[in-house]
Structure 1
Amino acid sequence: MAMTMKVYEVGRDGARRVVREEAEVAPLAEVEQSSRFPVCQCPRCLTEAPS
């Protein structure tokens, strides 16, 4: 069963801006059972040295 996702941001004034248009995504077949958050993959975190 596929799902759809649309990413947008909301400004302080309530204005919305679409960051990514609606796209169809497939859910994982098997979810990893963990209480930890996954490691961040954003460009800022990938380039900074860990503290």
Structure 2
Amino acid sequence: MTMTIKVYEVDRDGRTQVLRPESEVTPLEEPEYSHEFPACECRICVGGAS
């Protein structure tokens, strides 16, 4: 079974722009399981607040 995915962004005014056109993808048989969230990359966590 395949699925389709289309990647786009929406600006603050609601306009959309396609970043990657629609393409077919094959889903994983079993998703990766983890309770961990990825590390935060915001400027406060990475470099500290000024």
Describe the superposition over 1:9-44 as per-residue Cα deviations: whole angstroms up to 9, x where unpaired: 0011111000000010000112222112457xxxxx
- RMSD over aligned CA atoms reads 2.2
Q: May I ask how many residue pairs the two structures share in their alignment?
A: 42
> 1:25 & 1:37 partners in 2: Cα distance?
24
Normalised by the length of structure 1, the TM-score is 0.64
> 2:25 & 2:38 partners in 1: Cα distance?
19
Instruction: Tell me what 2:5 maps to.
Output: 5
Unaligned runs of 5+ in 2: none
Runs of 4+ in 1 over 3 A off after TM superposition: none
Unaligned runs of 5+ in 1: 40-44
> 1:2 & 1:38 partners in 2: Cα distance?
27
